[in-house]
Amino acid sequence: MLIVGAVLVLVLLLSLRGIARFYTDFLWYDSLDQSGVWRGVLVAKGVLAVLFIALFFLLAWAKLLGGGRLAPLGGGGETRRGARPPLPPRARGARLPQPPEPYGRVMISSQWPLGSDQ
């Protein structure tokens, strides 16, 4: 509960500038008897935000649906047509490629004997 309160206080402190500007704009439009304009700007911003969020969601949904990445409906492990099969076990834990041989020797050259006499 203490962490939630601390996060809320932090969000409030970080939002103070935006809240102050919002309230100042309201007071300015109200002093000019143009509060309807302020409401119109606020509604326009809200409608645009909702439209762009919906558009992004629909595009992301269509991309996921087209790519066959949505979870199967049955939940029994069967895959939808067009979905990629699961990776084989050895490919999941694939090792990184080793550096080329000359670079490996340069990095640990102090451990290698310098001549053939040793």
What tens digit of pLDDT does each residue of 54-64 get? Answer: 999 999 988 88
- Please tell me the predicted confidence (pLDDT) of residue 47: 98
The two tokens of residue 63 are 């991309």
Mean pLDDT over 31-44 rounds to 94
**Would you say 80 and 68 are in contact if contact means Cβ atoms under 8 Å apart?**
yes
Length of the chain: 118
Q: Where are the domains of the chain?
A: 8-68
Question: For 6-17, how does the pLDDT look when each residue is reduced to its tens digit (9 = 90+)?
Answer: 999 999 999 999
Least Cα distance to 37 among 50, 46, 28, 48 occurs for 28
